[in-house]
Structure 1
Amino acid sequence: MPHGDEIETPRGPARADTDLPGAAYSTMLVLGHGAGGDVTAPDLVAVRDALTEAGLGVIRVTQPYRVAGRRAPAPAGHLDEAWRAVLAVLRARHPTVSRWIVGGRSSGARVACRTAREVGAAGVVALAFPLHPPGRPERSRADELATGLPTLVVNGDRDPFGVPAPGPGIEVVRRPGERHDLRGDPPGTAAVVREWLRAQGWTPA
């Protein structure tokens, strides 16, 4: 049953859209949105649908700057601060959840990676991780993926922001023909996420 509400953070109110499976669940995936987008992005919605069907809870978090109606993203430190505050509230609200996974698309994936250990995540799901600004491969953000946690990266093979290389604990799946928005086949992207979670033993279905 979907439920959305605002959560106060040091950077203003964020919003959490919560979708829970019909049966008992022990794993929760928390997803953030892209810099200029929101939680209705096709890949985020498809992942929500696939995972709630598989028996996981899914919460999509809207950052305070987007709740306030701004499109220009807040500084990285502000995004991370708000995300940590939201995760603390969510953990208190869902005390029976034993496993928390964090993720998101693009900017949201970067926030999840940077804060994953601080918020006690078991793993990371990074959709359309922006390895570098378009045309600037020398400005790599690959170090953000080195969380030491099991991490899934799903990127289009035509993404102008680049595609990360796999590494220890980091599985990278290239989606053929997809660009940064991953709009070509959202159910296919969601199936990749669901299968990875199943392989980790984190989904009952």
Structure 2
Amino acid sequence: MTSVPENTSVESVERDGVVADIHRPASIPRATVVLAHGAGGNRHAVILRALAEALSARAFTVARIDLPYRRRRPKGPPSPSTAAADRDGIRAACAMFRDESGGPLIVGGHSYGGRQASMAVAEDGADLADGLLLTSYPLHPPGKPDRLRTEHLSSIAVPTLVVHGSTDPFGTTDEMAAAIGLIPAPTLIVEVEKTGHNLDPNKKPTVLLTVDAVDDFLLKEICR
């Protein structure tokens, strides 16, 4: 999914420390989604572009953002020492786009970006965003299931949707279910069969499964 649907538009913005590509629907938007990329990626990641195009076709405004570590250098993974700054970058983007649609704000992203978004929501609550969309949450390093990244999950108080590949080395589906069960808010895990951490949106029904779940679960729970 690389072409922009005819009924949407894309604008690049760079201001107030936020770098983003914004997908706006032709119709009145129902909600806004802010998505951050994984470690080693940027806002042009295939999974982010595919989700943004599909969500905007369903009347969501979507902002794909570059995290601060990526703005500092064009290649390489993030450093644990600057993770707090990446969360601040997510906060800045949420503040910038909070009133973009007049509807709820959903924040999240792929792998590292989703993890940092979830930590920011755990710290700030619904003041930051009304819902979480996490694709390929990196539950633990591959081969190290004892190093779970779950400490903050019990502090998340907004509806959360997790999209997970059945062969993802960062966590099995059972491990993911146990971890997401720590979140006291409504949650849903969508499993994409026979795919790994990249969720392979060009070959698997990842995008359709995700946008359907945003419509049928996440937005409905937010609007209850």
TM-score, length of structure 1 as denominator length: 0.87
* 1:87 equivalent among 94, 97, 102: 94
Find the counterpart in structure 2 of residue 8 from structure 1.
Answer: 16
Find the counterpart in structure 1 of residue 134 from structure 2.
Answer: 126
1:22-171 superposed matches below 5 A: 22-68=26-72, 69-74=74-79, 75-91=82-98, 94=100, 96-116=101-121, 117=125, 119-146=127-154, 147-163=156-172, 164-165=176-177, 166-167=180-181, 168=184, 169-171=186-188
Find the counterpart in structure 1 of residue 6 from structure 2.
Answer: none
Give the residue type in structure 1 aligned to 2:146.
Answer: E
Give the residue type in structure 1 aligned to 2:141.
Answer: P
Q: What are the Cα deviations for residues 116-160 of structure 1, in whole angstroms up to 9, with x where unaligned?
A: 226431111100100001111111113444412111111111111
183-192 or 33-42, larger mean C-alpha shift: 183-192
> What is the distance in 2 between the residues matched to 1:127 and 1:133?
16
- Would you say 1:174 and 2:179 are equivalent positions? no
Deviation at 1:73, TM superposition (A): 0.8
> Relative CO higher for 1 or 2, CA cutoff 8 Å, sep ≥ 6?
1
Q: For the Cα contact (< 8 Å) 2:29–2:103, is it kept in 1?
A: no
> What is the distance in 2 between the residues matched to 1:115 and 1:7?
21
Q: For the Cα contact (< 8 Å) 2:159–2:218, is it kept in 1?
A: no
Higher helix share: 2
Give the residue type in structure 1 aligned to 2:69.
Answer: Y
Which 5+ residue runs of structure 2 have no aligned equivalent? 1-8
Q: What are the Cα deviations for residues 4-58 of structure 1, in whole angstroms up to 9, with x where unaligned?
A: 121333xxxx411100000111300110000101122222111111111111111
Which 5+ residue runs of structure 1 have no aligned equivalent? none
Q: For the Cα contact (< 8 Å) 2:20–2:43, is it kept in 1?
A: no
SS in 2 for 1:113: helix
SS in 2 for 1:2: strand
* 4+ residue segments displaced more than 4 Å: 184-187
SS in 1 for 2:210: helix
Q: For the Cα contact (< 8 Å) 1:153–1:171, is it kept in 2?
A: yes
- Would you say 1:188 and 2:205 are equivalent positions? yes
66-75 or 21-30, larger mean C-alpha shift: 66-75
Aligned-residue RMSD, C-alpha: 2.1
TM-score, length of structure 2 as denominator length: 0.80
Query: How many pairs are equivalent?
Result: 197
